[in-house]
Chains A and B, each alone.
Chain A
Amino acid sequence: MFDIFKKIVTTGIVTETYKAAYDEELATLGIEIKHRIDKQFSGSLAIRQVDAGSCNGCELEIHALNNPFYDVERFGIHFVASPRHADILLVTGVVSRHMQTALLRTYEATPDPKWVIAMGDCATCGGEFGTSYASCGAVSNVIPVDMTISGCPPTPLVLLKSLLSLMEK
């Protein structure tokens, strides 16, 4: 037990400061916002992540948001276990045809008002997989999208800035 406390104390706080991207910065980071989140929701966002056909690269970077450097929960952003608890669907990957109904049902299960973020090149424009017999391509081909974040995969820094920029100040 002593070793654990010692390590916690010597590690200290590694959490870094992050701010929302400026409007001019958005394009360079590959972020496109179509509808911002109303002010009254800002500061408490529940996100349900849906992998609709990703290679799992994006998932790794979403995981990183919870590491002590980014610590996304301090901004009131947290990941929830059910779409019924969610304000935002964070969708990764092309939408595989085998996941199409599952994604539509998840979307329906999310209470209004809701926002959809398409994360990564696949979700944004089809990426390396595109549209085929097995893939519907970009997320916007299946459900309405409010924000896109390009990158393969987008870094946690870009991801965090995107989430902060989505909220109206």
Chain B
Amino acid sequence: MSWKITFLQQIVEADIFVKSTQISPHIELCQIDDSHWQQIAQIAKANQLRWAAGFAVQSGEQFHVHACFERKGAYLLFRTTINGAKPQLPSQATVYAAANRSERHTHDLFGIEFLQHPDSRGWTRHQAWGRHEYPLRHDFSVTGTPAEITPPDTSYHFVEAHGVGVYEIPVGPVHAGIIEPGHFRFQAVGELILNLEERLGYVHKGIEKIAEGRTPEGLAKLAGRVSGDTTVSHTWAACMAMEHAAGVEIPRRAALIRGIFAERERIANHLGDIGAICNDVAFTFAFMQMMRLKELWCRTNYELFGHRFLMDKIVAGGVNIDINDAAGKFMLIEIEDLRVELAQIIPAIDLSSSLEDRIYTAGYLSPQTAELFGTLGFVGRASGQNFDVRRDAPYAPYENVKVKVPLETQGDIASRFWVRYKEINASLKLIEQFIAQLELLPEGDLLAPWTIPDNGSFGLGIVEGWRGEIITYVEFGRNNVISRFYPRDPSQVNWEPLEKAVLNNIVPDFPVCNKSFNCSYSGSDL
């Protein structure tokens, strides 16, 4: 923790008063004055802290604005309070690129102005509500006052390029495949991509707003639908935050079951992604084989636990389904089968020179760029970002198992392919260990008694979802009711590095580059 001492020393030397409290083993809350908001970011950057998340909370006539930083598994949650009459704050996006869209999101939904922000355009708001209306303020009703038909947003000013032979390709929001909606604006010469700009926000469903007033059960259900492919991990993060706020500790058995579910989710998605990457370069053999394995995996979820993606199995205080001995044994056999299958398929894929030709060196994200944006998960780890919440800020049940974190530095599509494959193997080992531990515990101890949290108590849930670190903030109002919910999906961070990774690639390679990142639109738009 020596970096923390140096960091806090520098803050004191800069005459910044910090009131700090350790709120959980890995998280420290630091309250500062709003005038130092940007300066804190500068000192954080100089000390190599990663900007992890930013969000606001309304409290009466004031706003509490938060920025979460991380280094070596220790989190610092900075909080400042600003006046609601003219809410303004110096921007941290001038220091951290990762804060850019997050601050624009906070602006669109709270009306907090971030001074000197490098980009004055909106982000999440298109035309569904007025320019001077802010949905997450308490005086904005959940129904709003929408027009009969919400017009398209034609005012967004994209970056333009001029020159001989330069042309533009607008793509979306409705894409050609079976994927989520979003808009991509390419500037290209011939086949070469000169610039890509993403325009998201199309699937903004008001998740943060409709979370208000929910019970813990209701919030767990909603969190499970922030991004459908990450249903386990998002529910887990939200429940962890609620448990943190309520001071509830879940039974060991429940933690192990959550761990098994989260690793099963990781494996299912990685299997699908490896197949889909191959499909995007027309390598059908690998696609069909991996989709077959994923289907078998999902069927096991359905047979043992009643849902193919394990939705709504995690609840505040624990889990609502047990894993008995028979189910554990079934999963162990399945793991062995999967290993045999992969040992046959992966070498066959690896020997394919045409696949190699397409995925090596393509979609290159340099370790420097990855670091600049605080890139998360397998995308970050394929570009040398050696971070995994499960290892670096472990939470139950990961504290007493060895979590192997595969790392690559090549930063291309192939690296993201191989990191996924290695993560499947690591996850299989974790599941085996969790099942072994489960056998030593009595069946049925799944749920801790719930304590109603005090009005205003808050919690932070940080877990490693299959895409990477998820940070979820939950605050309670009176009578066990949620007053604020903010889930930071890793995609919110990873979308911007994609813009950089596709530069100098050819337009026809965009789908496979995009697939190798596989960011969530829903988890990003909220």
The reply to whether B181 and A129 contact each other, CB–CB distance below 8 Å, is: no
Which of A14, A104, A152 counts the most B-chain CB atoms under 10 A from its CB? A152
The reply to whether A97 and B203 contact each other, CB–CB distance below 8 Å, is: no
Residues of A within 8 A of B129 (CB): 133-134
Partner of A3, one of B145, B203, B298, B351: B351
Residues of B within 8 A of A130 (CB): 210
Q: Does B135 contact A (CB under 8 A)?
A: yes
Q: Does B407 contact A (CB under 8 A)?
A: no
Q: Does B174 contact A (CB under 8 A)?
A: yes
The reply to whether B344 and A3 contact each other, CB–CB distance below 8 Å, is: yes
Size bracket of the B interface: 35 or more
Q: Does B180 contact A (CB under 8 A)?
A: yes
The reply to whether B228 and A55 contact each other, CB–CB distance below 8 Å, is: yes
Interface residues in A87-123 by Cβ distance below 8 A to B read 93-94, 96-102, 104, 106
Interface residues contributed by chain A, number (CB under 8 Å): 57
- Nearest residue (CB) in B for A101 is B152
Q: Does B50 contact A (CB under 8 A)?
A: no
Stretch at the interface among A4-12, A23-31, A38-46, A161-169: A4-12
The reply to whether A68 and B272 contact each other, CB–CB distance below 8 Å, is: no
Partner of B204, one of A7, A98, A104: A98
Q: Does B317 contact A (CB under 8 A)?
A: no
Please, how many angstroms separate the alpha-carbon atoms of A140 and B180 in the complex? 20
Q: Does B165 contact A (CB under 8 A)?
A: no
Q: Main SS of the interface on chain A?
A: mixed
Q: Does B492 contact A (CB under 8 A)?
A: no
The reply to whether B142 and A49 contact each other, CB–CB distance below 8 Å, is: no
Residues of B within 8 A of A60 (CB): 228-229, 272, 309
Q: Does B4 contact A (CB under 8 A)?
A: no
**A94 and B176 in contact (CB under 8 A), knowing A7-B344, A55-B227, A60-B309?**
no
Partner of B149, one of A52, A100, A132: A100
Please, how many angstroms separate the alpha-carbon atoms of A100 and B142 in the complex? 18
Q: Does B231 contact A (CB under 8 A)?
A: yes
The reply to whether B308 and A155 contact each other, CB–CB distance below 8 Å, is: yes
Partner of B228, one of A3, A11, A153: A153
- Given A53-B205, A93-B203, A98-B153, list of 15 further CB < 8 A pairs? A7-B285, A8-B285, A50-B174, A50-B181, A51-B179, A56-B228, A56-B521, A57-B228, A68-B291, A96-B128, A99-B181, A102-B181, A133-B128, A133-B141, A134-B128
23 A-B residue pairs with CB within 8 Å: A51-B179, A54-B203, A55-B226, A57-B231, A57-B309, A60-B272, A62-B178, A63-B291, A64-B291, A67-B288, A96-B205, A98-B201, A98-B202, A99-B173, A101-B152, A128-B222, A129-B210, A132-B143, A133-B143, A134-B135, A134-B206, A135-B206, A153-B228
Q: Which residues of B line the A interface, CB within 8 A?
A: 126-129, 135, 140-146, 149-153, 173-174, 176-181, 201-207, 209-210, 221-222, 225-229, 231, 272, 285, 288-289, 291-292, 294-295, 298, 302, 308-309, 311, 344-345, 347-348, 351-352, 520-522, 525
Q: Which 4 A-B pairs rank lowest in CB-CB distance, beginning with the nearest?
A: A133-B144, A57-B228, A134-B206, A97-B128
